[in-house]
Chains A and B, each alone.
Chain A
Amino acid sequence: GQQVMQIPQYQHVQEGEDFTTYCNSSTTLSNIQWYKQRPGGHPVFLIQLVKSGEVKKQKRLTFQFGEAKKNSSLHITATQTTDVGTYFCAGWGRAQKLVFGQGTRLTINP
């Protein structure tokens, strides 16, 4: 079945450093979504990418969808303590269900 792998599982950075998490699917995806879960909270939608090679930005966050629509990345420039949390990618493939990656937990040293 469809699998979505996300790396790294954990990332600890100094405040102000950049952060990147990567997502790879075993199959071609129709779309990919990114979510953020704050500690003790629930996942909150950040963005959706649909087109091959698509790049979207939200302030310090840059999201990319690969040309083959099988991989994606989230890059945060100059992290802040408010960026702490777990970031999930989720891909929609052929079945009518969303498959989540394992998540990358980001911690930040102020």
Chain B
Amino acid sequence: EAQVTQNPRYLITVTGKKLTVTCSQNMNHEYMSWYRQDPGLGLRQIYYSMNVEVTDKGDVPEGYKVSRKEKRNFPLILESPSPNQTSLYFCASSLSGEGPRDEQFFGPGTRLTVL
């Protein structure tokens, strides 16, 4: 089944404890991105990647890191999480490597709480 998977789905952590949220897609998509969703603010892009080893900042990249060592995986790293990073996070992928020309396939989401 074609899908985007994220792990973990739920995470409660404490300030400053490094964490990684994994994202994997099995559709051979070029473009991958991370979004955070907060009430009243919609979906805001954190980072995106147009291909392996090519990543770039979205609109809210502060406090986050990403890597794209393999085409299928795009982990989101929070080196020192803070309470303002409490949010619902979505990973998404799409076929084209030229930007978001195509429909975005979203993962199920990761609800993160930072105490």
Contacts and interface: CB of A to CB of B under 8 A. Distances in A.
Contact of B106 (A1, A6, A30, A43): A43
Given A33-B104, A42-B90, A97 B99 contact: yes
B100 interface: yes
Interface string B87-102: 0001010000011111
B19 interface: no
A63 interface: no
B107 A98 contact: no
For A33, A88, A97, A99, the residue with the greatest tally of chain B CB atoms inside 10 Å of its CB is: A97
Contact-size category for B: 20 to 34
A103 interface: yes
A97 B90 contact: no
Nearest to B40: A102
B41 A92 contact: no
B99 A102 contact: no
Contact of B100 (A6, A41, A92, A103): A92
A10 B43 CA distance: 16
A100 interface: yes
Interface in B36-73: 40-45, 48, 50, 56, 58-59
B103 interface: yes
Contacts of B98: 96
Contacts of A80: none
A92 B42 contact: no
A96 B56 contact: yes
Interface of B: 33, 35, 40-45, 48, 50, 56, 58-59, 90, 92, 98-109
Interface of A: 1, 6, 9, 30-31, 33, 35, 41-45, 48, 88, 90, 92, 96-103
Given A43-B43, A92-B99, 9 more contacts: A45-B104, A45-B105, A96-B48, A96-B50, A97-B33, A98-B45, A98-B100, A99-B45, A100-B45
28 contacts: A31-B101, A42-B107, A42-B109, A43-B43, A43-B104, A43-B106, A44-B106, A45-B103, A45-B105, A48-B102, A48-B103, A88-B42, A88-B43, A96-B48, A96-B56, A97-B33, A97-B48, A97-B59, A97-B100, A98-B33, A98-B45, A98-B100, A98-B104, A99-B45, A100-B44, A100-B45, A101-B42, A103-B43
